Amino acid sequence: MVHSYVLALFLYFPEDKSEYIPAAITLGIFFIGALAAMWLIIKISKREANKAKELEDKIFQQHNQDQNRDSL
């Protein structure tokens, strides 16, 4: 019985539904912020992946050139 009473303390459903408006606005702001952060992380990750790929190709080309010189 005490357990259900303690859990009921966290449940509050207001009669005046306009009290949900600030919560909805806050949820919207944080959701948009989360989307912006995710977009930024993906954008930076792609940029870093391209840089890594270019560096990998450059190192691979140098390695191949060194092997070609050694074989001659």
What is each CA distance from 62 to 44, 70, 71, in whole angstroms?
Answer: 27, 12, 14
Which positions ≥6 away from 14 have C-beta within 8 Å? 20
Cα angle for residues 26, 34, 27 (degrees, 5° grid):
15
- pLDDT at position 72, please? 63
Which DSSP string do the residues of 17-46 spell out, in sequence order? GGGHHHHHHHHHHHHHHHHHHHHHHHHHHH
Residue 41: what residue type? I
Q: Write out pLDDT tens, residues 1-31.
A: 566 667 767 777 778 889 899 999 999 999 9
pTM of the full structure: 0.65
